[in-house]
Copies of this chain bind each other. A is one copy, B any other.
Amino acid sequence: MREYPLKGVTVIDLGQVYQGPYAGFLLAKAGADVIKVEPPGGEPLRAREAVSGRALLPMAMLNQHKRAITLNLKTEKGKHLLIELAKKGDVLIENYAPGVLDKLGVGADALMSANPRLVYASATGYGLSGPERDSLAMDITVQAASGVMSITGFPDSPPVKAGPAIADFISGTHLYAGIVTALFEREKTGQGRHVEISMQETLYPTFASNLGLMTQDHDGAPPRVGNRHGGLALAPYNVYPAKDGYVSIICIKESHWGNLLKAMGREDLSEDERFSNNAQRVRHIDETDTLVSEWTSAHTRDELFELAREYRVPSAPVRDLVEVTHNEHMHARGMLHWLDHSSLGRIVVPDSPIRFTETPPMGAAENPGLGQHNDEVLRDFLGISEEEINQLAEEGVI
């Protein structure tokens, strides 16, 4: 087995909720030593946990293999300790609102002058510059402002967000990506970087299909299309009702349509002008969808999936999250693991979606408790005496 690729990299992870912590999670799962730094009351996700246990699972998912310490950045000693950590670390992650750490005197300028090799990574809703820099941002407000909602949902319904927290996670992934890019560069130049990610900006490329529609025959903004193709350029391309749920079916190539006709037992339609090619089927999109719906409605989800597989038609069942957490395939691949968690009982936690062949997934680990590694990190990493550590605790610095 080969070593994890980021072995030897030390990360100071001030990340909060999903975006920052997901970057830290990917770093930890790639072999970095990640030290999660929280205020003495816990980061917002942990604080939310006290109100509702519902925040505990995300905490468990995203903080595996990290060590956790507390640090009160509103005290001089707390700031001093953060500077000491940054001097010894390779990477610092933060997703505070723009300017928060600068005001405290521990922003990029201060920490990178203390350690010019530091990769200082900032993630915000709208970026560190520009007229909208200071708008308050969370996943849902960014889904609104970025355009995601305007193109999600059915044409006759109000705009709706993507159910998962995509703004947090796609930006958290870019954050990890930027960090590792800067680490690569540092191997050549010896210099750190201030890497910056805006949630809003990481979503823009995802509108490719929908934006394509705008340049062509459409005036005005792209409509919501339900489950149809974002550019209304393919048919069939939709979610269809089964006896016991829903399935998605799409035809990318003409051969897929031929295969679908066979699966449906409707090869008689292969000569039908209305369906003779994709352009024709798009023109007759309602008829095309009705034809497919009639067939799917007479079968179960499993039957349809089997038929689609047999006839090589791109298709998938619409699965709910109970099915997904139990998905045999992802468990077999080592992406999902069962974990007996001390507070939550038996849960499923993910491994990293970035897979390095020759090095197996790391497996599950319980998230650290608040300040669990205060002693260990302050003593072994920063060389602070037990006595001093006790005093820091008494003074509310940690």
Contact = CB atoms under 8 A, between A and B. Distances in A.
Contacts of A269: none
A177 B354 contact: yes
Interface residues of A, number: 153
Nearest to A241: B158
Contacts of A233: 48, 51-52, 54-55
Nearest to A184: B184
Interface in A108-147: 108, 126-127, 129-133, 135-138, 140-147
Nearest to A357: B194
A211 B339 CA distance: 15
Contacts of A368: none
A6 B193 CA distance: 13
Contact of A174 (B196, B208, B214, B353): B353
Interface string A20-64: 001001100010000000000000100010011111111001100
A325 B146 CA distance: 10
Contact of A328 (B131, B188, B237): B131
* Copies of this polypeptide in the complex: 2
Interface in A132-170: 132-133, 135-138, 140-154, 157-166, 168-170
Contacts of A61: 205, 208, 211
Nearest to A312: B136
Contacts of A197: 353-355
B335 A204 contact: yes
Given A51-B278, A161-B227, A141 B248 contact: yes
Contact of A250 (B51, B138, B183, B313): B138
Interface centre among A154, A185, A200 (most CB of B within 10 A): A185
A290 interface: no
> 10 nearest interchain CB pairs?
A151-B163, A162-B162, A221-B320, A164-B206, A5-B185, A152-B163, A58-B208, A136-B314, A141-B316, A145-B316
Contacts of A366: none
Interface in A205-229: 205-216, 220-222, 224-227, 229
B52 A231 contact: yes
Given A170-B169, A184-B5, A204 B350 contact: yes
A153 B160 contact: yes
A29 B166 CA distance: 23
A393 interface: no
Interface centre among A136, A140, A232 (most CB of B within 10 A): A140
A95 interface: no
A330 B130 contact: yes
Contacts of A138: 250, 252, 314
A359 to B, nearest CB: 9
Contacts of A148: 162-164
